[in-house]
Amino acid sequence: MSTHQIKLIVGLGNPGPEYEKTRHNVGAWLVDQIAHQSNENLKPEAKFFGAIAKTNHFSSPLFLLKPGTYMNESGKSITAVANFYKIPVESILIAHDELDFEPGTIRLKNKGGHGGHNGLRSTISHLHTNDFLRLRIGIGHPGNKDKVTPYVLSRPNIHDTQRITTSIDDGISIIELLVNGKIEQACHQLHSDN
């Protein structure tokens, strides 16, 4: 597994208040929470097609990004930031919603396909590689593939919201390790807790 230090954390989601609290935006929830804990504000930047912040809250400087595009164009924003700050693909962590995991489960994964996730599909397409780290935040599955779109675009109930929020806290607890390039240690800690 990669030993690269994470320099950019991207929270995938759709822009606008109507999507803010939906399951599809849980990656963005994570980035918002890191910004909040770091006392940083994500500022919209036209050249990055999204909102960005830089924090020194962890042991090394870290960029936080929420693409301002819709999910299927996320890669445009991520590529703009990576190119501007010369951040290698291996130093990017993408936080996203994961249908295959129940709410409360969170997992690190290196490389891999997009699994039908439009945000990951766009990211792989724009970066021309899948060699980045993902933080997969479980949101559960509606049980029927025809119901996936309305499901991910709806808000989780209070019980699921609490479980997702707790898993996001677990994810944030390993950021220091990721920033220091201790990917395997971070995996071990996260996966033994969950």
What are the residue numbers of the active site? 24
Token pair for residue 43? 């500022």
Among 68, 55, 64, residue whose Cα is nearest residue 135: 64
- Residue 181 neighbours by CB distance under 10 Å: 17
Q: Enumerate residues 6+ apart whose C-beta is below 8 A from 143.
A: none
